[in-house]
Structure 1
Amino acid sequence: MVPTTTIRRRALPWSVIIGLGLALVIIILALAAPVIAPYDPMRMASGPRLSAPGLTHLFGTDEFGRDLFSRVLHGGRLSLGIGLTAVLTGILAGGLIGLIAAFSGRVIQSVLLRLIDVLYSFPDTLIALALVAFLGPGIGNATLAIAISLIPFYARVTYGLAAAERAKPYIEAAQLAGIRSARLVRVHVMPNITQSLIVMGTLGFSSAILSAAGLSFLGLGVQPPSPEWGGILASGRNYITKAPWILLFPGLAICVTVLSFNLIGDSLRDLIDPRRKSPS
């Protein structure tokens, strides 16, 4: 087997360090939310309605007197869970389709690629919206819709990576030796494309979180009173002048989370393939 493409051994750039640091803090806060959240995120009248941020309520309260700090912490668990589930599902399903297209006959390859191209021509958010409108609102349907919307992207990426590996001499030699395609993919191809798929999964994670927040903002994702960043934004838009903190803190949570994973993904992509790095 040809050695896999490895990340160059050198000092990590500052963008990776910052991205990893922010992502680690976000993940720890989300996982520890039941312990560090001072109030039940769905408990009404935890404090005065639309109370400004202070010592008692760090992020203030919403229109029902619920503690916003607790809701943002628990919302991180939902948002990260939806994003992780959707990306893993999209990579597994899309990766399988891409590998089948790369190592199948011309007819199957042509059909799969045309189908992928048609679906890939639509924005993933539009696909997710259409699916949720058909399946109905809810956390499970929203997660499934986001995962399906990511499949064309990962199928196309996997096909490109696998097709490039298939054209290499060592694959041709293995095929001439009578090694079956399934073994070729498992032993030779997958180790060589896994790093790239991980990087693309990191970038897709940000897209999945934004899609989840967008669906919840439109009332098609996680349903009230469950705390989710997009849902909190939706409930606070009517109080943008009276209580702007209801929009400020979940909005910052979304921005910081997306930024952290984009920094990680972009930097890892540059480390794996330095030719993609933009000139300084």
Structure 2
Amino acid sequence: MTDTTTNHRPRRLPAALRQWNIAVGALILGIVVLAAILAPWIAPYDPFKMASGPRLTGPSAAHWFGTDELGRDLFSRVLLGARLSLGIGFAAVAVGLLFGVTFGMIIAFCPERVKALLLRIVDVVYSFPDTLLALALVAFMGPGVENATIAIAISLIPFYARVTYGLAAVERAKPYVEAAQIAQAAPARIMRIQVLPNILQSLIVIGSIGFSSAILSAAGLSFLGLGVQPPSPEWGSILASGRNYISRAPWILIFPGLAICLTVLSFNLIGDGIRDLTDPKSRRRRS
């Protein structure tokens, strides 16, 4: 008899999970998203109910994050605030990507004079910080969740349009696009079938950057009273309610602030990891 031995090689993790930044970012984001989805069921208290007992109590076994100035459980409010903060971020980025990518690709295929004019318009709008632009738009439209979401989405469009134009312009100069143009393929078909799939990975990276910006803008608008209105809990509005108690009850600012920081960090880590996977040169430059 012949003895046969089988070499068991350890299974390698998928490339995405071997990137520590993607793994850590996905773990943090997964926890935040799961908490946002399950918030109505796992929140130990009604986040809107004002307590008749002591207020501004510190973290304890009964109230993990303490209570606010109205005696409301801060842990429950941060959990429910995740739904609003993430919801505004996802909606704003989705709308911003849709219009920004479409506009950027159209500019890349426009005649030179039209292209130059449209690029100047985009550059002028893009010169304003996105949070400042969103602030001006909300001040004009009025406060509220819907208006804040629309304003943040509009503020992201110039960024997505400018980046998409640069990516699409590079692809347009390649032989396969020139061949399609010689074959008289419709520009819309070239954009959709040939250009878009080749820039999709880069769009995912800039999309993650947009999420971070959208969440920060949403928190900033709510902090200034132009976003989510009380008593609805949103991380920025919770920070605003606790700014008068920073020395007496700092936990009102610490916990929603940590939620914002961790969520923004998770999107940035995921974006960096995807960039390293799709562009090995960037990883070598940093190492």
Q: Under TM normalisation by the shorter chain, which class is it?
A: over 0.9
- Counterpart residue type for residue 253 of structure 2: L
5 Å matches for 1:94-243?
A: 94-243=100-249
Report the Cα distance in structure 2 between the residues aligned to 1:42 and 1:158, rounded to whole angstroms: 43
Residue of structure 2 aligned with 1:279, choices 261, 273, 286: 286
Report the Cα distance in structure 2 between the residues aligned to 1:10 and 1:242, rounded to whole angstroms: 44
**How far did 1:10 drift?**
7.3
Superposed CA offset, 1:22-62 (max 9, x none): 00000000110000001111111175210111111111100
Tell me if the contact between 2:209 and 2:267 (Cα under 8 Å) persists in the aligned partners. yes
- Percent identical among aligned pairs is 67
The question of 1:250 aligning with 2:249 is answered no
**How far did 1:133 drift?**
0.7
Tell me if the contact between 2:66 and 2:75 (Cα under 8 Å) persists in the aligned partners. yes
Residue of structure 1 aligned with 2:95, choices 72, 89, 94: 89
- Counterpart residue type for residue 261 of structure 2: C
5 Å matches for 1:6-155?
A: 9=15, 12-45=18-51, 48-155=54-161
Does the C-alpha gap of structure 1 residues 162 and 116 become closer, same or farther in structure 2, counting only changes over 3 Å? same
Residue 226 of structure 1: SS of its match in structure 2? coil
Tell me if the contact between 2:16 and 2:277 (Cα under 8 Å) persists in the aligned partners. no
Runs of 4+ in 1 over 3 A off after TM superposition: 8-11
Tell me if the contact between 1:47 and 1:66 (Cα under 8 Å) persists in the aligned partners. no
Report the Cα distance in structure 2 between the residues aligned to 1:22 and 1:136, rounded to whole angstroms: 33
Residue 84 of structure 1: SS of its match in structure 2? helix
Tell me if the contact between 2:145 and 2:227 (Cα under 8 Å) persists in the aligned partners. yes
Report the Cα distance in structure 2 between the residues aligned to 1:42 and 1:11, rounded to whole angstroms: 39
Report the Cα distance in structure 2 between the residues aligned to 1:254 and 1:131, rounded to whole angstroms: 23
Residue 18 of structure 2: SS of its match in structure 1? coil
**How far did 1:224 drift?**
0.5
Report the Cα distance in structure 1 between the residues aligned to 2:172 and 2:31, rounded to whole angstroms: 40
Tell me if the contact between 1:203 and 1:266 (Cα under 8 Å) persists in the aligned partners. no
**How far did 1:12 drift?**
2.0
**How far did 1:108 drift?**
2.2
**How far did 1:151 drift?**
0.4
Specify the structure having the higher radius of gyration (Cα). Answer: 2
Report the Cα distance in structure 2 between the residues aligned to 1:247 and 1:120, rounded to whole angstroms: 32
**How far did 1:233 drift?**
0.4
Residue 99 of structure 2: SS of its match in structure 1? helix
- In the alignment, structure 2 segments of 5+ residues that lack a partner are 1-13
Report the Cα distance in structure 2 between the residues aligned to 1:262 and 1:107, rounded to whole angstroms: 37
- In the alignment, structure 1 segments of 5+ residues that lack a partner are 1-7
**How far did 1:238 drift?**
0.5
Provide the aligned C-alpha RMSD in A: 1.3
**How far did 1:146 drift?**
0.5
Q: How many residues align?
A: 273
Report the Cα distance in structure 2 between the residues aligned to 1:46 and 1:36, rounded to whole angstroms: 23
Tell me if the contact between 2:16 and 2:23 (Cα under 8 Å) persists in the aligned partners. no
